[in-house]
Amino acid sequence: MALSKLDNLYRQVILEHGQHPRHYGELNNKTNEIEMFNPTCGDEITLQVKIVDQKIQDIKFQGQGCTISKASASMMAEELVGKDIKTCQVAAQAFSKLVMGEEITDSEDELLGDAVVLAGVQQFPARIKCATLAWKGLAQVLAKVGEKNE
Ligand code: ZN
């Protein structure tokens, strides 16, 4: 399994999130919902978000997918709940740079929190879409919310 090439500590964090994802389930009072599908791996994620006053009050996700897709959604929710839309957009962009192997700044690194452990997927191009699935879904939700407010 390709994951075994990842640094051991990082691998454990990813496996732990994949097996016990945070923010998994149904969100009451959601304001937005998006379904995301990654055909190359078969990952399916439904992301439910509650956004009030330009801030993400809560995120939950459901679906079936590989460990990386679930761990990534779990870490994303953990890091971004409570943050404002602009900050979350910056984080989503930073995350996609990270997994593509591009440099990110210290402040971006801090924003991503535990999710930086997913940087290792850059060695496995087929898994990059697994890692970015939830983040792309959130970015689409945020773009829509932003449009409405303009
Ligand atoms: Zn996957």
pLDDT, tens digit (0-9, with 9 covering 90-100), for 61-93: 999 999 999 999 999 999 999 999 999 999 999
Q: How confident is the model at residue 1 (pLDDT cuts 50, 70, 90)?
A: very low
Distance CA 72, CA 133 (A): 8
CA atoms within 13 A on the CB side of 111: 21
Q: How confident is the model at residue 5 (pLDDT cuts 50, 70, 90)?
A: low
The model's pTM is 0.92
Ligand 1: centre distance to CA 149 (Å): 34
The whole-number pLDDT of residue 20 equals 96
Distance CA 20, CA 23 (A): 10
Neighbours of 13 (CB within 10 A): 19
Ligand 1: centre distance to CA 28 (Å): 27
Confidence check: pLDDT of 150 > 90: no
Tokens of 110: 């801090």
> Which residues in 19-40 are b (16+ Cβ under 10 Å) and which e?
eebbbeeebeebebebebebee
CA atoms within 13 A on the CB side of 103: 2
Closest CA relative to residue 75, chosen from 104, 25, 112:
112
Share of the chain above pLDDT 90, in %: 85
Closest CA relative to residue 74, chosen from 140, 130, 31, 126:
130
The whole-number pLDDT of residue 3 equals 53
Mean per-residue pLDDT for 111-119? Answer: 94
Ligand 1: centre distance to CA 53 (Å): 33
Ligand 1: centre distance to CA 51 (Å): 27
